[in-house]
Structure 1
Amino acid sequence: MTAIWFIFALMTGLAVLALLWPMSRRLALAAVPEGEARIATETGFYRDQLREIDRDAARGLLAEPEAEAARAEAARRLLRASREPGRTAGAVGEPALRRRRAASAFALSTVPLVALLVYGMYGSPDLPAQPQAERLAHARAAGNDLAAAVAQIEAHLAKAPEDGRGWAVLAPVYLRVGRGEDAIKAYENSLRLLGEDATRLADYGEALVATGDGVVSSRARDAFERALRQDPNAVKPQFYLARAAEQDGDRAQARTRYAALAAGAPPEAPWLPMVRDSLARLDGTAPSPAPKPAAGPGMSEEQRGMVRGMVEGLAQRLAEKGGTPEEWARLVRSYGVLGERSKAEEILAQARTALGNDPARLAPVEEAAREMGVVTAKAAP
């Protein structure tokens, strides 16, 4: 505790000294007639300039003709400054000296007082010191290992933004903690710096799907198609392109893609139940119990839960505040892709009520419902 007050006293003294130093120089010059002080300042400047010219000439930075010309010009200005008439005004008056002394006394007394008042209002001198390493250790002890890791990687990338591997490591972490937009930017940086390969492109497309509430957008579809050109046997791009066809209402194409994926899958593949559920949904048969969320092969349970959380967050917002027809359509499509037909039917009914059964506004919602095979009786007008 004593040490911190000593440090504060030292910092306050330095601040006061910084204020008083220029004033003390002016006070010292005040004893000299003002004109003489100005002449001394200007002649000193030109003498310094002459010495600088000599140094540059000695180092070869100035050719001799240029050095001579510069010396001549500086010498002329030096003579003019030292002989200029009207520069010998009297000394600074006593009122000016009194004002400067009063300003010095004010600074000496006020700066420490203000510092103490501010620290008393906003400071916390009783809290123990917490260096960065100790804070990170406490964060890990409190179960915030992931947040500490993200902070470390972000600090590294702030200093080395061209480290593609750093962006590749950070992107899935962002996705895991629900920072979808940041994950997309991180994947884009890794693709730009490391080049395209099937895995990075597929993961980038998956981040776009997760951020888009399970909808395979045109950007995501383009990423999956580029991934397949890199590796025609990659599972994740095939799965999402099948899902994209399903969302577009091209059930035949979707079934062909799902069937090809299932035919080439090893029996123990963890993503095979999702493919079979999708085929069952397209064939109109009952899907297997507890269908998986709209998440692609290779995603962890945490990531699947995150995708479901995004969809449910959109549903809650639309239920509380309403939304555009496109948002209602996206929610119907998302639940259809999740395989939750009853939820999709419930959202369709809510959309019809929220949009006032206006056929023009309901058109995109009804279209999404038809694509997902969701049909409910329309409300009576």
Structure 2
Amino acid sequence: MTFWIIVSFIAALATAPLVLVLLRARASDADDSGNTAVELRVYKDQLSEVERDLSRGMLSDEAAKRARLEISRRMLDADTKGKQHITKDAPLPLWAALTVGALVLGGGIWLYADMGALGYKDLPLKDRLEWANELRETRPSQATAEQTAPASPPLDTPDPQHIVLLEKLRAALDTRPNDLQGHMLMARNAAVVGEYRDAYAAQQRVIDLKGDGATAEDYASLADMMILAVGGYVSPESEAAITKSMARDANNGTANYYAGLMFAQTGRPDMTFQLWSRLLSNSAPDDLWVGPIRGQIEAVAQAAGVRYTLPPLSATSPNAGLKGPTADDIDAAADMDANDRQDFIRSMVNQLSARLANDGGSPEEWARLISSLGVLGDTARARAIWNEAQIIFGPDPKALAQISAAAQSAGVTQ
């Protein structure tokens, strides 16, 4: 009831000027009519004055004639204007002005009652925070989300040979459940081909085996794989992994990005903006989370009520996101059967080599490729790539020195 009283009062205030305008128009007509009569009396007095001046000899007959004509013309104009104004702006009766105001007022109230959101309550900050907390606490679990949400696409096009090698690794781990390096290899490479559930199961086993030695990156990788397994949804289980990662390293980029995503999904864009804006300002242009943040942060800022202008991206690495076998990958394959290990590493090396040949790459990636070929014993190919790298990175002594160190370890320098 209070709402309707307030609305009716505001509507009445909005309608009052309309009624006043109508009434002012009526009063204005009366005033204009009175002004015309006064003007006509002035002109009549002027005619009398002309006659007196003529009888006194102060004006000639010709001058008096001209004065009479000019004053008569002005009188005619004034009388005509007065009649036109009264005809054009015929005044409304008081009851008519009030009727128009009542129609406008009643029509506005009826229109709101028909199309408005009757009974919709205000949502103060306290209630919004409570709603966001409830949404966060009651959101679906990882298992529930996996039953309905499609997984994200694989990070790379699966190589059939890679799939076969993953099956062999999976079979090997069935007999060696405590093989830390094997589970690390399984987690990393299952994620590459889109087998995210197996990937995060293996990563969880890695964390269990490491115990207190698990790092922030270990937990961030676990959260990453869990979130990819449900198409980008941050479940309570992946949030727990994010929390553990940030407890070990508050500046972990992956964990901060997904923490912001979680808040965006649970009605707290203000928290998302705080996390993402800080992360964006402290990130390199080719960090993997920079692109997704830049694509969403302006909408997040608007939802949070913040005026924000996205800064320009100074540079973007053309090789962001390229993957190849790391030293950990190679070490993790050490416990596999010799033939399987060689095939597994060779598969990853071939993928990296193809990418560098097509798209180019950073000095670190060229060095990694040469080192990997050295481990495989493919010195001829490693030497050929080293020779190519000297041509490409010759103008950059610092980059060439990094690649040269890898070439020396592979035994292909002269």
Question: Would the TM-score normalized by the shorter structure come out above 0.5?
Answer: no
TM-score, normalised via structure 1 length:
0.36
The structure with more radius of gyration? 2
TM-score, normalised via structure 2 length:
0.34
